[in-house]
């Protein structure tokens, strides 16, 4: 398996623009997680899905952030409008409940909002 795939790997955008991050989980996994990592705040869980259904979005910082999972093999995290404080590395991870929920992380998207 190719592991968790994220795109783009790097994104530079200007404040106010819409940003869409993409994630393809490991095939067969039933959980998908979105995290944000910054030097100041460390690793933060934003939202997670189970069988494509959002379960907990309490970590989403504000309404500018939204996430969808239209099918088992694809998820998006959207920021609209983006702000400089959104600059971070965004990781997607997936897990399988039968594997004790071991999470496997994607390579991350490094976002810079100017």
Chain residues that interact with another protein, rule: CB under 8 A: 31, 33, 42-43, 45, 48, 50, 55-56, 91, 93, 100-108
Can you read off the two tokens belonging to residue 47?
A: 């939202």
Q: Which is nearer to another protein, 49 or 65 (CB)?
A: 49
| Alpha carbon distance 15, 48 (integer Å) | 26
Give the largest CA-CA distance in the chain. Answer: 42
How does strand 10-13 pair with strand 109-113?
parallel
Number of Cβ within 10 Å of residue 69's Cβ equals: 21
- Which among 114, 106, 100, 102 has a CA at the least distance from the CA of 21? 106
Pick 20 or 96: Cβ nearer another protein: 96
Nearer to another protein, 5 or 81 (CB): 5
- Give min distance, CB of 82 to another protein, in A: 22
Nearer to another protein, 45 or 72 (CB): 45
- Min CB(3)–another protein separation in Å: 9
């Amino acid at each position: 398996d190719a592991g968790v795939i994220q795109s783009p790997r790097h994104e530079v955008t200007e404040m106010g623009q819409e940003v869409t991050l993409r994630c393809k989980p490991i095939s067969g996994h039933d959980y998908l997680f979105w995290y944000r990592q910054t030097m100041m705040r460390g690793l933060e869980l934003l939202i997670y899905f189970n069988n494509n259904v959002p379960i907990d979005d309490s970590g989403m910082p504000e309404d500018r952030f939204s996430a969808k999972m239209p099918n088992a093999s694809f998820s998006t995290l959207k920021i609209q409008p983006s702000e400089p404080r959104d600059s971070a590395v965004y990781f997607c991870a997936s897990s399988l409940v039968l594997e004790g929920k071991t999470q496997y992380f994607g390579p991350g998207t490094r976002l810079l909002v100017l």
